[in-house]
Structure 1
């Protein structure tokens, strides 16, 4: 009881802990005692790890600690890279810094070339000459563009990308002469005087094995020709005879005028029967056709505004009514639309109703 009572005193307890610590430190200076203590601790940890539950708990704890450490390291590296990139961009955004960096790099290049040995200078000149020749050769190869057409798949390729195959020699590789004719699908449209036709690398390798390529046009992959009545329709005239109206905006890019989509495109499945079964879509009962196409009627802005030609629309629709898609959905021509439109090639168009009086005066003045 006396010892227990003395331990209640904080000063006595602190003095006792300090005394025990000193005794352990003195004992650990002995190599034998230190080795026995290390073995005893190792045996204790080994016995604990034999318990599957304890071992599994220790593995989970170590995995979570390593995962947190990796995440912190990756986040720190990402922050450092982002900070470095911002500093570099801010530095290079200054024209004076860019000019100074360019001059510094030029001086380094000049100094490096001066320090080269004569043999190294010759190698450097040869390397620059080869690089210039490669660039000139590339420019020459692409000068005319991909003008060669594969008679099998219809793809357009550069001249160095196609290989020649003779028709009579290739026919012997196929068991049936009909299959041999299929791989030369465009031979009638692209005649050759020496019976040698262009094949792309893919078609060339497959045809040499006596097989029909999967991308061969004879496998139903040829695009149908566009009828003359559908070739010169405007964007709005096309939408007046479509079963579904796609709201996509196409723009032209660069001097080559390649097309790209601007804005979002929403693909919404719609029942054609519930949407429209009578085409063309109706206009107002007026002699002047004004077409303002909107995404929704409650919208104030128009998606598209154009002048349309009823005669062209009717001609195109007469052709489309015989196609598979229009027959499948039982789309018919609207008799009301025919009754309310004439057969003119073009019709007057007033974009703003406020200009109607001015247009009427101009017509009467004639």
Structure 2
């Protein structure tokens, strides 16, 4: 019961703070004595801090407000992607306290050396914030992640890699890092740190093309955690072979390897314009099926699609308008991601922070 009440009080502070103890008692329905005791525990854990607040027009001594504290507890986000490794530390208020990215060619790699390099990067990043207590770590990988293994990360060359093989080398707060799909975490990063609404489909345009669906502020992972493989939706029957074993997948038409650069598009290069149009039409085709099935409130294009958005979006919108016009008043709004290339690593940290806010007693 006390653990639940700690989460209740901390949730109110996180969602509507700063708040006085009296306001917290009114919002939670708990007694003022209970709230004072719970706030004392949260203060001791470094999750909240106090700041005096004079209330104009009120009698007696002014109340003391309680707010989230970013000075003690933080989370570590990690990412392995095809062309880089990334790490960041985000405190409880959502402020990024440290961030490092290193270029690396991780195609057709073995997990062991990649994780060794990531561990070094994590140590260097944590050394930048020695005063913070790291509550946990989450690792983003570009592949399908089940309960106990990464089933397939085709662009890394990883198949059936046990989660424990990935997490045991990277332990934080005496617990292994959790592992999650990159696109799912990017969607969470956009939700927590971007400007997306609470219902949207996030599309991650990297070497592979993944998607994460956010519904009412929560991430939908599917029955086995394998939802969101938009890149393997077939957009051209009998098209080019894909690493997944099928043919004509979206990745072959709109993945990073076939996308033009923004400089070429800005210079009106005809070849770049044709490649962008081809990618936009294929993406629009896959998204029209996703919209019919999932009915998202908005579509957010992330990763490499962000710098290409001014040229790519008109082609995507044209296909969505054409294919969805008869079924709904208008297609979902199409937006560029606000978090850019940091979406997944920020989302990885956000997943830890969500756990802390939901269960502050788990910090011990």
TM-score range, shorter chain: under 0.3
* Larger relative contact order, structure 1 or 2 (CA cutoff 8 Å, min sep 6): 2
- TM-score w.r.t. the length of structure 2 is 0.19
Indicate the structure with greater helix content: 1
- Between structures 1 and 2, the one with greater strand share: 2
Larger radius of gyration: 1
Q: TM-score, normalised by structure 1?
A: 0.19
